[in-house]
A and B are shown apart, each in its own frame.
Chain A
Amino acid sequence: QQQVKQSPQSLIVQKGGIPIINCAYENTAFDYFPWYQQFPGKGPALLIAIRPDVSEKKEGRFTISFNKSAKQFSLHIMDSQPGDSATYFCAARLYGKLTFGQGTILTVHP
């Protein structure tokens, strides 16, 4: 059972654009929603995260928007750069265990 659904599978934007990646979850008991960034040949690394009692969190150019009633959350990357090209995973945590979305391959063209 896929409890976290992520879209789109891939995304191409120009430098300076604002890519948006969306995730939807089913289990309302999830207590923490992180986003991980993965570069080719590397392991994922925590990028930014949010708790369900907060509607938005910003860290630098990265923003999470969280809609508890719709059971959806999204990652926005402001002023995207070619160095942001990577695979992004959303996740949701329950009892310490993470369930990941399918991943989004982001390409930012110069």
Chain B
Amino acid sequence: NAGVTQTPKFQVLKTGQSMTLQCAQDMNHEYMSWYRQDPGMGLRLIHYSVGAGITDQGEVPNGYNVSRSTTEDFPLRLLSAAPSQTSVYFCASSYTGGNTQYFGPGTRLTVL
């Protein structure tokens, strides 16, 4: 099992550009989520999904879109990047009701 994979590992964008951060898992987990990690702020939930076709907002959803067309994939879209979105982004997955969330290796995004 590859677990949770994320691409790219690093990305630099200019203000106003759009991009998609990819996340995939091969553990057949129903629950997937996106977090951003900023110094002194911990990890904050952006969006989450409890299964294919079902998504919902977390604590900091503004500026981000998600979709869940398959169980395996949960991409995060930045529609118009802003410097405030400079962060490290983590995708995670778990069984619904499961006690362990498995995190991917992260994507470090810089918006100039």
**Which residues of A does B touch, CB under 8 Å?**
4, 6, 9, 32, 34, 36, 41-46, 49, 89, 96-103
Contact assessment for A96 and B103 in the assembled complex, using a CB-CB cutoff below 8 Å: no
Contact assessment for A96 and B40 in the assembled complex, using a CB-CB cutoff below 8 Å: no
Interface size range on B against A: 20 to 34
Contact assessment for B42 and A46 in the assembled complex, using a CB-CB cutoff below 8 Å: no
**In the complex, A36→B90 CA distance in Å?**
14
Q: Mark B29-44, 1 if CB is under 8 A from A, else 0.
A: 0010101000011111
Contact A96/B45 with A43-B104, A45-B103 known, Cβ cut-off 8 Å? no
Contact assessment for B105 and A43 in the assembled complex, using a CB-CB cutoff below 8 Å: yes
Residues in B whose Cβ lies below 8 Å from that of A99: 45, 59
Contact assessment for A89 and B42 in the assembled complex, using a CB-CB cutoff below 8 Å: yes
Mark out the residues of chain B between 58 and 112 whose CB falls within 8 Å of any chain A CB in the assembled complex: 58-59, 90, 92, 96-97, 99-101, 103-106
**Minimum CB–CB distance for A49 against chain B, Å:** 6
Residues in B whose Cβ lies below 8 Å from that of A96: 31, 50, 96-97
Residues in B whose Cβ lies below 8 Å from that of A102: 40-42
Contact A97/B58 with A42-B105, A45-B103, A46-B101 known, Cβ cut-off 8 Å? yes
**Minimum CB–CB distance for A26 against chain B, Å:** 14
Residues in B whose Cβ lies below 8 Å from that of A4: 42
